Amino acid sequence: MASKELLDRLNDAIAREIQVSIQYIWQHVMVKGIHAESLGDIFKKISIAEMKHAEKIAERLYYLGGVPTHQPTPIEVGKTAKEMLQLDKKAEEEALVLYRKIITLADKEGDVVTSNMFTDILEEEEEHHHQFSRLLED
């Protein structure tokens, strides 16, 4: 079965996915300004994708013998649209680092399924990061 280190990293990923799911959905509700409607739709769409990631990771963790966390990492909503996007870009950057570590660890342990799953999730997280980065450009 999986090492304690891999199980712990998977729980870190679940906590992060829960965090951004809540963070982005609250931003969807709270964003104001001329671009609020379109930006709110982006926050909502990405929030749903992140919740699906949390579910997929939790199922994998449980299969590997772990117990999925239900506690998110700290949620930071922000007050302005720009601040929200900056926080979200940072959260996605943190995910990219964590998920690359998980892929490396899973590969080292010969866990092809976890590695492939996180490679797919990593691709989606890179898309989210790119979208937030583009929205922050002047």
Look at residue 1 in the predicted model and tell me its pLDDT.
Answer: 79
Look at residue 138 in the predicted model and tell me its pLDDT.
Answer: 73
For residue range 24-62, what is the model confidence (pLDDT) as tens digits? Answer: 999 999 999 999 999 999 999 999 999 999 999 999 999
Specify the number of domains making up the chain: 1
CA atoms of 132 and 87, how far apart (whole Å): 9
Work out the mean pLDDT of the chain and round it to a whole number: 97
For residue range 76-92, what is the model confidence (pLDDT) as tens digits? Answer: 999 999 999 999 999 99
Which range marks the domain in which residue 39 is found?
Answer: 4-136
The number of residues in the chain equals 138
Q: What percent of the chain has pLDDT over 70?
A: 100
* 25, 43 contact by CB (below 8 A): yes
CA atoms of 43 and 34, how far apart (whole Å): 15
CA atoms of 99 and 120, how far apart (whole Å): 10
CATH of the domain at 89: 1.20.1260.10
